[in-house]
Chains A and B, each alone.
Chain A
Amino acid sequence: MRPRPHQVLEVKIETADVTTIVVAPIDAEPPLVARAGQFNMLWMFGIGEVPISVSRIRRDGALVHTIRAVGVVTSALAGLDAGGVVGVRGPFGTGWDVDSAAGRDLVVVGGGIGLAPLRPVVEHVLANRGDYGRVSVLVGARTPKDIVFGEDIDQWQHSDLGVDVQVTVDVAGAEWPGHVGVVTDLIASAHFEPARTIAFVCGPEAMMRFATRALQELAVPLERIRLSAERNMQCAIAQCGHCQLGDVFVCRDGPVLAAARLLPLLAVRGR
């Protein structure tokens, strides 16, 4: 499993610690094609490799990845300039299966960098708006400065396609005109018909647990709530053992898993 060399076409600084890179293959092989919710292994030459979900689906074969710089490899990736080189293996794992939400109300809940794998979902829905019922996009961040994809969120809010977009932050100064509180607060005030709703949630584990509980309290069936799990991944092909969570290999069986499957596994602390 060798990475394929890709060249950085664009770099966009999203926040102080979040950067989006757009990369395209240097070789002449067909481009890698990922679905919303899947991830690639991004390799910095001689430094290391990390799993990063795709944050936009492009038709030109370029891959879009949004990276939060938290370690050596992610910091190196975030430090890339246009023209830089990154290795890519993938795509891996399960996707959100956004088509399965057609005809239903859709609730998208993204916490922090957890919005990255969900942006392709929102963009798909906007491009195919007639296929979906009510659509709510609920975004949470630590502070206003940590909101990723601010321009996209602004665009979604001001589109005339009828998408309910709500943003909340954990902490804000007086200059923040919006909601302050956890993202799960927004679920109660969102407009959707629970019985016909499908929900995609990505964020910290605690946030996903609380979001699932809030959705369930509104009678969204557990089997129609999907979450995205995070675990240590090295091989991405279910051979290195690191990503195991109970019987699940998160790299292969996830990262997107039905809440009914994932929550019982997360309920056991330290598993």
Chain B
Amino acid sequence: MTFGPCCDVAWGIHRDVTLSDGALLIDRRGLETLFQALGSQGYTVIAPTVRDGAIVYDEVDGIEELPAGVTDIQQPGSYRLSTRDDGALFGYAVGPHSWKKYLFRSEAVVFRARLDAERGFVPSEAGEPAATRYAFVGVRACEVAAIEVQDRVFLEGSHRERDYESRRDGAFVIAVQCGEPGGTCFCVSMHTGPRAESGFDLALTELVDAQLHEFVVEVGSARGGAIMASVPSRPAQSRDLGAARAVSDRAASRMGRTMESDGLPQRLAELLEHPQWDDVASRCLSCTNCTLVCPTCFCSSVEDTTDLTGTEAIRTRRWDSCFTLDHSYIHGGSVRASTRDQYRQWLTHKLSTWVDQFGTSGCVGCGRCITWCPVGIDLTAEVAALLAPAD
């Protein structure tokens, strides 16, 4: 049994996957068992959890650390936690973290080298595979899309980024189909959600009301299917699938934001001297928050240091941001010296030149850059202003 066409306009998904009768149904204990099964297979389980007044991604020991009955209220420049009375474990949108921090680490040693009298120096062997295999629990559709965007950057060019690759290859992805989009979400506009149709090992849809608390489980890979063999479940019935479908449909209808994305790359390329860039520059603090919370931003810088004896050199890679002066520095000064230049670079890269470079938009509509901007700059509003007919 399948539900509806595979290319529902509201979902904006073009892959031929449906929420079908291969899906399973588990309860909270089943979810607990799934966590245990992941742990016994050697995965470090990373999941949403409440810390410092936000829902962040961190290592958890069990489902009791999930944000049960917690939700978030997001607006431009504003993020607040609140409670919900249904005890839902995934009843919120995305927080300040993204899975990027586990796959493309904020800081990583690129190589070490030791001085050597005969050979000059001896670099360390590159590409020690990541010791940790992660299971990511609660990956939203926009985040699955963001991981796939970074795959293109780090794995599909002429050079594969080894640290990213080893982490990515080992990662077990458990998606959660969004039921509670935030006030700054616009995945429907970017055609990345709210339903994840692929790119996961398992996908959960949380069904919660006064009587029941269950999860429809879609199996997206062989290893996903294998791990479900050790989890008590029953085949999802048509009413379960209908309820799951309703969760996604409802989420799609409750996006906090919209952004016109048709023809956007070409249109922005024509607007590089628009006065709106000066307008947004008068508000932007160049603080880099938007780039650091963005799940697709991939800029990094390297720093070379030595140990105290000067015989070992270490190259460290750190996240960088196109909002810094150093980012575009060449002898004589920075190419993008003003906030106007920097914001324009960020927005036009994200929404326009990214498509030329990687065949996909760099924006997945997660809304983080809007929520975490300290002055509440909303890129969907900036785009609308840029595209608005001239007076």
Contacts and interface: CB of A to CB of B under 8 A. Distances in A.
A238 B153 CA distance: 8
A234 B110 CA distance: 12
Interface stretch (B189-197, B331-339, B376-384): B331-339
A244 interface: yes
A240 B120 CA distance: 27
Interface string A2-22: 110111000000000000000
Contacts of B322: 241
Contacts of B304: 43, 46-49
Nearest to A74: B331
Contact of B310 (A7, A46, A269): A46
B154 interface: yes
What interface size band does chain B fall in? 35 or more
Contact of A46 (B306, B330, B338, B341): B306
B340 A239 contact: no
Which has the most chain B C-beta neighbours within 10 Å: A3, A43, A45, A235?
Answer: A45
Which has the most chain B C-beta neighbours within 10 Å: A27, A71, A241, A249?
Answer: A241
Interface stretch (B30-38, B81-89, B157-165): B157-165
- The main secondary structure of chain A at its interface with chain B is loop
B282 to A, nearest CB: 16
A247 B356 contact: yes
A268 interface: yes
Given A45-B121, A237-B157, A270-B337, A71 B331 contact: yes
Contacts of A235: 300, 302
Given A238-B158, A239-B153, A239-B298, A231 B335 contact: yes
Nearest to B340: A270
Given A49-B302, A70-B331, A270-B338, A239 B154 contact: yes
Contacts of A246: 353
Contacts of A2: 110-111, 113, 123-124, 126
A85 B123 CA distance: 13
B120 A242 contact: no
A42 to B, nearest CB: 12
Contacts of B327: 232, 241-242
B120 A6 contact: yes
Interface residues of A, number: 39
A26 interface: yes
A113 to B, nearest CB: 10
B51 interface: no
Contacts of B113: 2-3, 45, 87
A237 B336 contact: no
Interface string B132-176: 000000000000000000000110011101000000000000000
A27 B305 CA distance: 23
A271 interface: yes
A193 interface: no
A143 B322 CA distance: 36
A70 B314 CA distance: 23
Interface string B99-142: 00000000000110101101111111010000000000000000
Contact of A7 (B120, B305, B326, B335): B120
A46 B335 CA distance: 26
A19 B159 CA distance: 32
A139 B138 CA distance: 61
B15 to A, nearest CB: 27
A230 interface: yes
A196 interface: no
Nearest to B157: A238
A252 interface: yes
Which has the most chain B C-beta neighbours within 10 Å: A3, A85, A244?
Answer: A244
B257 interface: no
Contacts of A269: 341
Contacts of B158: 237-238, 252
B375 interface: no
B340 A237 contact: no
Interface string A212-254: 0000000000000000001110110111111010110100100
Contacts of B229: none
B153 A27 contact: no
Contacts of B305: 46
A174 interface: no
A144 B375 CA distance: 53
Which has the most chain B C-beta neighbours within 10 Å: A6, A7, A43?
Answer: A43
A127 interface: no
A145 to B, nearest CB: 19
A232 B121 contact: no
Contacts of A26: 118-120
B328 interface: yes
A241 B297 CA distance: 9
B125 to A, nearest CB: 9
A242 B301 contact: yes
Given A232-B327, A238-B157, A270 B335 contact: yes
A205 B345 CA distance: 19
18 contacts: A1-B110, A1-B159, A5-B120, A27-B119, A43-B304, A46-B304, A46-B310, A85-B120, A87-B120, A231-B335, A240-B299, A240-B317, A242-B299, A242-B328, A246-B353, A247-B353, A252-B157, A271-B345
Interface of A: 1-3, 5-7, 26-27, 43, 45-49, 68, 70-71, 85, 87, 230-232, 234-235, 237-242, 244, 246-247, 249, 252, 268-271
Given A1-B110, A238-B158, 5 more contacts: A7-B120, A232-B326, A232-B335, A235-B302, A270-B337
Question: Top 3 closest A-B pairs, CB basis?
Answer: A5-B120, A241-B299, A270-B341
